[in-house]
């Protein structure tokens, strides 16, 4: 009997990017554990990935290529050989490319965060074809844009400093569900005497365990940050020296925030004046005492019309009070900007045909793009979709339009997947992909500072192949002869990071594979002495770049598209705001088909405040219909004041096929985009709720 332990990495779209130890006995992965030596993993995994073998050896794994025999969406397939699958795809893509390669579009996101099985061989093939580019905005681009204008690259406080902070503001995040290893350190900070505050319209699992929970209306965070700035400036709770040395535009900021009185802010946010003032004082007075304060901004604040501005406004706070002076102070949205990636080598944009015009399609309004007939402005109608690492039919907004797009008879769709997801049901050709235990990969992270290597632990299941291998076969069938199209997964992984940089030169790919991980060499307190990567090198309260891009150069409040205050006419019809943040036991739509995890979540629920429920004669356990002009879906009501009055919460993202009505929360979300970054507005919508007619 042979037994070994393999170093691997959790591939999921989660800031924690855990280091895994996989026990393999006679070629079978028997256990997946957190690496006890990895400083942020600390030997602990979330419940989802602790059951990784259940997902890997799931009886529903796709094990061989298939072609569709039923109607699109019906999910009927027959087995075919790899030769037939690749030949069919190559000939269809060639035929479309001969007319106009821009009619071909990839659709991919972070099903795996690995750089090899993400955008490497796939990008090379699509670039060489001259396909349309996909703007990968579905998650973080609004906040990323707001952060960039204000502070530069996405670098923030090192998560390993969290326990040393004295005040922690969890702003639009639910770390117990979505950033567990940060939460562990928050608990340590709490034991050390820190005050923990959550800002969230929903009393989430995390919010209910904080010292204070400020339940703002969705989409109003930028107003709250303006109100905090108003109080900090009015009460002179400022670090004048830090402001003078390392910021730009303080005088303009001062003028701008003058009108943002606690009274005005409280009315917009639906909170008390004392909450606005108290928050600002906790923040400013702590700083004055020399105590580190940390703002863990998360993505909950940026899935609304003014999401980019919300992140920008929050990013102004640490500089005002000099919080960046402390290693445990400042703010963290994402640590991804610290990694020195070699994207050009991975993706080879130079392969794109020189003489050809390009086109970029935003993934966040894919429904409209798929339904577009083509025009001079839009370019050609989309005729082929190659989907990998994503489940757009479940996760993209305004889902009925997305599903109609995928159902188009004249669209050729290839899906690379582990399972027959809602999206796979629409594939013409469905290809089996390997999971993280079956392939090699290399990872950066967005919640910590470690480069990570994933070694293959077991052989591919059935006839599954890695994404990179599938695109290699496709390149061959398309007749692409550049040497880069035959590079192995390992050779691609070796190029992912630039090891000539001061942050990375202490290691290399061979070492990473053996040791599993290595930390970027960066200062503990990234911005203690300024050094922001903005055009001025300062924290930009005033941003010329924003003005150049047609935006307000100063912090502002951009109301939601759909809210009782900003659109009273719509609210007369649909009076309830709705959000659909992640459920703890799912990872976006991944794991919904793992029975033990689905059983823990139960079925699709809607949390509704007792006042809103009573008004609609809804009782706990009733089946309710949630609807607006875009669509409707069913859920079981949970009557609870966890949801603030006037707002309902449907934890997500369910596979449609596991819901009684084959629908999910994205039936009612909209394709409108954020103020910057072209992001989706998943938490910016109004609905009405009624008792469902059929039980």
Ligand X SMILES: Nc1nc2c(c(=O)[nH]1)N[C@H]1C(S)=C(S)[C@@H](COP(=O)(O)OP(=O)(O)OC[C@H]3O[C@@H](n4cnc5c(=O)[nH]c(N)nc54)[C@H](O)[C@@H]3O)O[C@H]1N2
Smallest gap, in angstroms, from Cβ of residue 135 to ligand X? 14
Closest to ligand X by CB, 271 vs 525, is 271
Q: Phi and psi for 39 in degrees, rounded to 5? A: -60, -35
**319-337: buried (b, 16+ CB within 10 Å) or exposed (e) per residue?**
bbbbbbbbbbbbbbbbbbb
201 touches, from Mo ion, ligand X, ligand SF4, none (C-beta below 5 to 8 Å by class): ligand X
Q: How many other β-carbons are positioned within 10 Å of the β-carbon of residue 226?
A: 26
Binding mask 634-673 for ligand SF4 (x = CB under 6 A): ----------------------------------------
Of 133-141, 484-492, 564-572, 627-635: span binding Mo ion (CB under 5 A): 133-141
Please tell me whether residue 517 binds ligand X under the rule CB under 6 A. Answer: no
Q: Tell whether residue 204 is a contact of ligand X (CB under 6 A).
A: yes
582: Cβ contacts below 8 Å, ≥ 6 apart? 174, 177, 178, 588, 651, 652, 653
Q: CB of 13: closest distance to Mo ion in angstroms?
A: 5
By rule CB under 6 A, what string of x and - marks binding of each residue 62-101 to ligand X? ----------------------------------------
**Of residues 6, 7, 12, 643, which one binds ligand SF4 by CB under 6 A?**
12
Q: At what angle do helices 467-477 and 82-99 cross, to 10 degrees?
A: 60
Give the footprint of ligand SF4 on residues 134-193 (CB under 6 A). Answer: 180
- CB nearer Mo ion, residue 113 or residue 554: 113
Residue 10 interacts with ligand SF4 (CB under 6 A)?
yes
- Alpha-helical (H) ranges within 396-466 are 399-406
| CA quadruple 393, 397, 398, 399: dihedral, nearest 10 | 10
Residues 6+ apart with CB under 8 A from 234: none
Applying CB under 6 A, among 6, 7, 8, 16 the residue interacting with ligand SF4 is 16
Residue of closest CB approach to Mo ion: 139
Residue 20, classed as helix, strand or coil, is: strand
Torsion of the alpha carbons at 69, 75, 76 and 82, rounded to the nearest 10: 70
Work out the burial of residue 560: count CB atoms within 10 Å of its CB; fewer than 13 is exposed, 13-18 middle, 19 or more buried: buried
Q: What angle do CA 513, 517, 518 make, to 5 degrees?
A: 115
- If one asks whether residue 384 binds Mo ion (CB under 5 A), the answer comes out as no
Contact yes or no for 650/668 (Cβ under 8 A): no
CA 51 to centroid of chain Cα atoms:
22
Among 367, 582, 604, 678, which residue interacts with ligand X (rule: CB under 6 A)? Answer: 582
In this chain, which stretch among 135-143, 365-373, 655-663, 667-675 interacts with Mo ion, using CB under 5 A?
A: 135-143
CB of 35: closest distance to ligand SF4 in angstroms?
11
Q: Does 139 bind Mo ion (CB under 5 A)?
A: yes
Taking the least distance from each CB to ligand SF4, the nearer of 17 and 150 is: 17
- Using the rule CB under 6 A, give the single segment among 9-17, 124-132, 222-230, 249-257 that binds ligand SF4: 9-17
Give the distance from CA 194 to its chain's centroid. Answer: 28
Question: Counting contacts by CB under 6 A, is residue 389 touching ligand X?
Answer: yes
Contact between 299 and ligand X per CB under 6 A? yes
Report the partner that residue 379 touches, choosing among ligand SF4, ligand X, Mo ion, none (CB closer than 5 to 8 A by kind). none
Name the residue nearer to Mo ion (CB basis): 139 or 393.
139
For ligand X, the closer of residues 110 and 453 by Cβ is: 110
* Rounded-to-10 torsion of CA 577, 673, 305, 201: 40
Strands (E), 237-292: 247-248
Q: Least separation, in Å, of the C-beta of 192 and ligand X?
A: 23
The answer to whether residue 46 forms part of the interface with ligand SF4 (CB under 6 A) is: yes
Q: Give, in degrees to the nearest 5, the angle at Cα 562 between 559 and 568.
A: 95
Longest Cα–Cα distance of the chain, Å, equals 73
Q: Are 673 and 680 in contact (CB under 8 A)?
A: yes
Among candidate residues 174, 160, 155, 157, the one with its CA nearest the CA of residue 42: 160
Q: Report, in Å, the least distance between residue 560 CB and ligand X.
A: 8
Q: Which of residues 147-186 bind ligand X (CB under 6 A)?
A: 171-174, 177-178
Residue 467 contact partner, candidates ligand SF4, Mo ion, ligand X, none, CB within 5 to 8 A by sort of partner:
ligand X
Number of chain positions touching ligand SF4 (CB under 6 A): 12
Q: Residue 107 or residue 352: which is nearer to Mo ion going by CB?
A: 107
Which residue shows structure tokens 């290893």?
181
Instruction: Report the C-alpha gap between 481 and 459 in whole angstroms.
Output: 28
User: Which string of x and - marks every residue 435-474 that binds ligand X (by CB under 6 A)?
Assistant: --------------------------------x-------
Kindly state whether residue 401 participates in binding Mo ion, applying the rule CB under 5 A: no
Q: How far apart are CA 231 and CA 284, in angstroms?
A: 9
Candidates 2-10, 97-105, 214-222, 248-256; binding stretch for ligand X (CB under 6 A):
214-222
Element (H, E) at 273: helix 273-288
Compute the distance between CA of residue 75 and CA of residue 60 in angstroms, rounded to an integer: 13
Nearer to ligand SF4, 48 or 124 (CB): 48
Quote the CA–CA distance of 480 and 468 in Å, as a whole number: 15
Binding mask 12-51 for Mo ion (x = CB under 5 A): ----------------------------------------
Other Cβ atoms closer than 10 A to 634? 21
Residue 149 partner contact from ligand SF4, ligand X, Mo ion, none using kind-dependent CB cut-offs of 5 to 8 Å: none
Q: Is 61 helix (H, G, I), strand (E, B) or coil?
A: coil
Q: Residue 270: which residues within 8 A CB-CB, separation 6 or more? A: 215, 216, 217, 220, 644, 646
| Helical axes 262-269 vs 273-288, angle rounded to 10° | 120
- The tokens for 301 are 């604040």
Helices (H) and strands (E) in the chain, counts: 24, 27
Q: How far is the CB of 665 from ligand X (least distance, A)?
A: 4
Per-residue contact string for residues 582-601; x = within reach of ligand SF4 by CB under 6 A: -----x--------------
Chain residues that interact with ligand X, rule: CB under 6 A: 13-14, 109-112, 117, 138-139, 171-174, 177-178, 199-202, 204, 216, 218-219, 221, 298-301, 304, 388-391, 395, 416-419, 421, 433, 467, 579-582, 584, 586-590, 652-653, 665-666, 669, 682-683
Chain residues that interact with ligand SF4, rule: CB under 6 A: 10, 12, 14, 16-18, 45-46, 48-49, 180, 587
Chain residues that interact with Mo ion, rule: CB under 5 A: 139
């Amino acid at each position: 009997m042979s037994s070994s332990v393999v170093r691997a990495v959790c591939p999921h779209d989660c800031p924690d990017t855990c280091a895994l130890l996989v026990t393999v006995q006679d070629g079978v992965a028997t256990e997946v554990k957190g690496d006890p030596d990895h400083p942020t993993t600390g030997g602990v995994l979330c419940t989802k990935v602790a059951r990784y073998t259940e997902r890997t050896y799931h009886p529903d794994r796709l094990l061989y290529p298939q072609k569709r025999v039923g109607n699109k969406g019906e999910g009927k397939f027959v087995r075919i050989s790899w030769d037939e699958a690749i030949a069919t795809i190559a000939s269809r893509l060639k035929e479309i490319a001969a007319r106009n390669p821009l009619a071909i579009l990839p659709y991919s996101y972070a099903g795996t965060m690995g750089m090899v099985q993400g955008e490497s061989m796939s990008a090379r093939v699509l670039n060489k074809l001259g396909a349309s580019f996909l703007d990968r905005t579905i998650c973080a681009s609004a906040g990323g844009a707001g952060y960039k204008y204000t502070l530069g690259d996405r670098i923030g406080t090192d998560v390993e400093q969290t326990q040393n902070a004295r005040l922690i503001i969890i702003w639009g995040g639910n770390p117990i569900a979505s950033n567990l290893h940060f939460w562990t350190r928050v608990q340590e900070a709490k034991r050390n005497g820190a005050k923990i505050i959550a800002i969230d319209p929903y009393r989430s699992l995390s919010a209910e365990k904080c010292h204070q929970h400020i339940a703002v209306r969705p989409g109003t965070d930028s107003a709250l940050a303006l109100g905090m700035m108003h109080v900090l400036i009015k009460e002179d709770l400022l670090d004048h020296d830090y402001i003078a040395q390392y910021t730009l535009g303080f005088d303009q900021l001062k003028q701008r925030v003058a009108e943002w009185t606690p009274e005005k802010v409280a009315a917009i946010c639906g909170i008390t004046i004392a909450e606005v003032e108290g928050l600002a004082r906790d923040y400013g007075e702590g700083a004055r005492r020399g105590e580190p304060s940390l703002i863990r901004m998360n993505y909950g604040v940026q899935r609304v019309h003014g999401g980019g501005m919300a992140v920008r406004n929050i990013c102004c706070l640490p500089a005002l009070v000099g919080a960046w002076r402390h290693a445990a102070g400042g703010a963290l949205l994402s640590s991804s900007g610290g990694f020195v990636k070699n994207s050009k080598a991975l993706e080879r944009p130079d392969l794109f045909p020189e003489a050809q015009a390009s086109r970029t399609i935003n993934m966040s309004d894919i429904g409209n793009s798929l339904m577009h007939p083509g025009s001079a402005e839009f370019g050609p109608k989309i005729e082929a979709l190659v989907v990998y690492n994503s489940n757009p039919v479940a996760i993209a907004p305004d889902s009925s339009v997305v599903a109609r797009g995928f159902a188009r008879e004249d669209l050729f769709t290839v899906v690379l997947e582990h399972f027959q997801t809602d999206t796979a049901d629409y594939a013409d050709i469905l290809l089996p992909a390997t999971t993280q235990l079956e392939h090699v990969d290399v990872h950066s992270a967005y919640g910590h500072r470690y480069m990570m290597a994933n070694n293959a632990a077991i052989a591919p299941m059935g006839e599954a192949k890695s994404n990179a291998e599938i695109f290699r076969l496709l390149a061959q069938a398309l007749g692409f002869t550049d040497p880069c199209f035959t590079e192995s997964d390992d050779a691609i992984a070796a190029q992912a990071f630039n090891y000539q940089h001061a942050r990375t030169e202490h290691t290399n790919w061979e070492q990473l594979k053996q040791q599993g991980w290595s930390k970027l060499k960066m200062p503990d307190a990234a911005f203690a002495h300024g050094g922001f990567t903005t055009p001025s090198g300062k924290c930009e309260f005033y941003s010329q770049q924003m003005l150049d891009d047609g935006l307000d150069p100063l912090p502002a409040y951009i109301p939601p598209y759909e809210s009782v205050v900003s659109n009273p006419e719509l609210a007369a019809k649909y009076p309830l705001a709705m959000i659909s943040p992640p459920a703890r036991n799912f990872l976006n739509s991944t794991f919904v088909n793992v029975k033990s995890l689905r059983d823990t979540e139960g079925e699709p629920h809607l949390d509704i405040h007792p006042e809103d429920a009573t008004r609609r004669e809804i009782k706990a356990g009733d089946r309710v219909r949630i609807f607006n002009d875009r669509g409707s879906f069913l859920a079981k009501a949970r009557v609870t004041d966890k949801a603030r009055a006037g707002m309902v919460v449907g934890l997500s993202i369910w596979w449609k096929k596991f819901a009684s009505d084959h629908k999910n929360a994205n039936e009612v979300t909209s394709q409108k985009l954020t103020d910057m970054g072209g992001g989706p507005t998943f938490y910016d919508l109004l609905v009405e709720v009624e008792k469902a007619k059929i039980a």
